[in-house]
Amino acid sequence: MKLGRQAVLGAVLALMVISGCIRPAGEDGISIMFDRRPLLFEETVYFNGIKVGKVGGVDVGAGGITRVNFIPADEFRSQLADNLVFYVSNGRLMAAKIRNFGRPLKEGGVMCGFGSRSALYWFRLKHALGDAARVAAARAASLAEQFQG
């Protein structure tokens, strides 16, 4: 019987979490909220092709809402603001700006994640005339609240 690549990688990630190689989300990092479990195959996080941190853990909560712990590199921490969102592309977590300026991320703040680049583009299109950063922050807060159950 053939096992899919995603199933095998999921099992490997589960073993890493159980063995303690990956910390649960929320420890030493920033919580990125997704409406469903993202398909991540790589631990490194990128912004404009540059490595800016790593995935520290993945937790699935109520209704499949998922919290990914992003541990930013020290030199990237100063760029964490409410204009930054995350999306998954080819199994990698990618950061993207949804506007050119933003307010620094508050302590304990959560960030918005999208399961694909097309989901991010759809979000941008829907909110092109409004404040997409504000809507993304509200979406992340709502998902975090639902995650708690």
Q: Which pLDDT tens digit goes with each residue over 20-42? A: 333 344 456 899 999 999 999 99
- Residue 2 lies inside a defined structural domain of this protein: no
Count structural domains, the chain.
1
- 47 within some domain: yes
Give me the helix-helix angle, 132-148 and 117-126, nearest 10°.
120
Token representation of residue 83:
């204009």
Average pLDDT of the residues in 91-103: 90
Is position 84 within any domain? Answer: yes
Between CA 4 and CA 70 the distance in angstroms is 26
Query: Average pLDDT of 4-26?
Result: 46
- Cα–Cα distance for residue pair 54/32, rounded to 1 Å: 12
61 inside domain? yes
Does residue 143 lie in a domain region? yes
- Give the other-Cβ count within 10 Å of 143's Cβ: 22
Question: What was the pLDDT predicted at 133?
Answer: 79
Structural domain includes residue 6: no
Domain that holds residue 129: 23-148
- Buried b / exposed e across 67-83, counting CB within 10 Å, b at 16+? bbbbbbeeebeebbbbb
